[in-house]
Amino acid sequence: MSENRPGVTARAPAKVNLLLQVGPLRDDGFHDLVTVFQAVSLHEDVTATPADTWGITVEGAGGTDVSGVPLDGRNLALRAARLLAERAGVEEPVHLHVRKEVPVAGGMAGGSADAAAALVACDALWQLRTGLDGLAALGADLGSDVPFGLHGRTAVGTGRGEQLVPVLTRGAFHWVFVLDDTGLSTPRVFAECDRQRGPGWTGPGADGRLEAVEAALRDGDPRALAAALSNDLADAACALAPQLTRTLDAGRAAGALGAVVSGSGPTVALLAESATAARDVAAVLAPVVGEGRLRTASGPAVGARVLEAVA
């Protein structure tokens, strides 16, 4: 029987890719990436509670549709908890309850945030004191975006995106996210990118995009950052979901400084001058795309952390 003691709730942020450079297809089926992640103030909360058997429940917050979230061994949060237990020699099952604010399959790493929050919650529940680096190493075994969910803030990711270096960032940046009902699988978007490039594509070489993003972040300059936003997967995502091109155009017409497909899509990220400007952009877009498809947020946000013990 499980002990009668409180559970632990941890929170982890969504991410937006300010830059996503995708290298040629490797022999192992992956691509070398250079990306700049920024954590934003849309969150996933995961509560881990001692239980007799492993299990998970999920609820949507703020209208988030969770109908496509698996509730079995495919769920990344449950996999994270079981991996930590296996590596630490813990034999106590937990029940996880996930409160999702991040769009599902939206290119904002909501599943990875679930895994990051589950690692932090279970580490605290079991009093393991694994440390951030140890949890990030486990996270990298689960998915390329999980380590960033643990670290948060702003970072350059290389390799598959899991090798992180923090980026100096001054001030806050304000975003409007436009959600889309189209589910785009990440492998499918990468495959379309490879198809568009054709066989033998070797990459553009050094092009200064990373340096431009880093300079804008260092200066806290939203206009410079808007000009530097870039995603090598955008053309592939728009080819698979052509309405994204219209959303990008509508966002710019609504007053956004810049617009970019987030990760592999289909969420579109719009950068605004200020928090007030972000609300104004959302207000202009609401009659066009529907108010329920809009989220405003700011970044950088902190990484996964414990919120509270839950009786």
Binding residues: 103-113
Amino acid of residue 108: M
Task: Tell me the binding residues for ATP.
Answer: 103-113
Q: Catalytic residue at 15?
A: yes
Residue type for 142, please? L
Query: Among the options 114, 145, 180, 232, which is catalytic?
Result: 145
Q: Is 219 a catalytic residue?
A: no
Of the residues 15, 45, 180, 232, only one is catalytic, namely: 15
* 46 beta partners: 10, 98
Q: How far is CA 226 from CA 149, 151, 196, 212, 223, in A?
A: 23, 24, 25, 10, 5
Pairing of strands 55-60, 31-50: unpaired
Among candidates 102, 89, 94, which has minimal Cα distance to 118? Answer: 94
Cβ neighbours, 10 Å, residue 72: 8
Sign of the CA dihedral 72, 75, 269, 204? negative
CB atoms within 10 A of CB 172: 15
User: Which residues does the annotation mark as catalytic?
Assistant: 15, 145
